[in-house]
Structure 1
Amino acid sequence: MTGFVQIIEYRTSKPDEIATLMEEFRAKRVAANDGPAPVRTTACADRDVPGRYFAIVEFGSYEEAMENSGRSDTSEFSARMMELCDGPGTFYNLDLVAVMNYS
């Protein structure tokens, strides 16, 4: 099994603006269809800590994730997102070990 997951933990008082930014980025990337892109992105809000959020970004491989990170549109998206955050994000880089489906 190959795969790579990046979790970005961030805090913001502007979650709606970040959601809009994420959707705009996704739509542009899908329309361009010109290189590695995440397989899936999941956005989560922490129920226990208001204002804390997580983006769970899945890639086919570490190499695809690094190629994606090197793209200018990814750098621009990241800079715009960090402007909407209340401080720096924390990044977790994870190799996929197992996936268990219950349905």
Structure 2
Amino acid sequence: MTGFVQIIEYRTSKPDEVQALSEDYRKARETEDDGSPAPARVMACADRDHPGRYFSIVEFDSAEAAMENSSRTDTNDFAAKMMELCDGPPTFYNLDLLQEM
């Protein structure tokens, strides 16, 4: 089984702005569709026990696809804008998928 999951943990006091930025990025990627690797699935989550803490769970077909996606100009632009909305640096967890049920 192949697969790669990246979890991005971040804090923000501007969750609505983060959501709008993410939606704009998603729409731009959909209309562009240049055939380059994109996430297979993205989930945005709020931590119920720690208000202001959020997680993005991003699934890719492979670690290589994730790295190619990360090197895109639009991904870097999105990340820079995202950092402006966050209350500190994010924490990244890069995970190889071992099993799905």
**CA distance in structure 2 between the aligned counterparts of 1:36 and 1:23, rounded to whole angstroms:** 18
Equivalent residue, structure 2, for 1:43: 44
1:77-96 Cα offsets, whole Å, 9 max, x none, are 00000100000000000001
Equivalent residue, structure 2, for 1:27: 27
TM-score, structure 2 normalization: 0.97
Equivalent residue, structure 2, for 1:16: 16
Runs of 4+ deviating beyond 2 Å: none
- Count of aligned pairs: 100
Give the CA deviation at 1:30.
1.0
Give the CA deviation at 1:31.
0.8
**Identity, % of aligned pairs?**
69
Paired letter, 1:78? A
- Unpaired stretches in structure 2, ≥5 consecutive residues: none
Q: SS state of the match for residue 56, structure 1?
A: strand
**CA distance in structure 2 between the aligned counterparts of 1:48 and 1:93, rounded to whole angstroms:** 23
Paired letter, 2:91? T
Q: SS state of the match for residue 24, structure 1?
A: helix
**CA distance in structure 2 between the aligned counterparts of 1:64 and 1:90, rounded to whole angstroms:** 20
Q: SS state of the match for residue 21, structure 2?
A: helix
Q: SS state of the match for residue 88, structure 1?
A: coil
TM-score, structure 1 normalization: 0.95
Q: Kindly report which structure 2 residues correspond to 1:47-86, keeping only aligned pairs within 5 A, or say none.
A: 47-86=48-87
Equivalent residue, structure 2, for 1:6: 6
**CA distance in structure 1 between the aligned counterparts of 2:32 and 2:45, rounded to whole angstroms:** 26
Give the CA deviation at 1:37.
0.6
Paired letter, 1:15? P
Equivalent residue, structure 1, for 2:99: 98
Paired letter, 1:8? I
- Unpaired stretches in structure 1, ≥5 consecutive residues: none
Q: SS state of the match for residue 56, structure 2?
A: strand
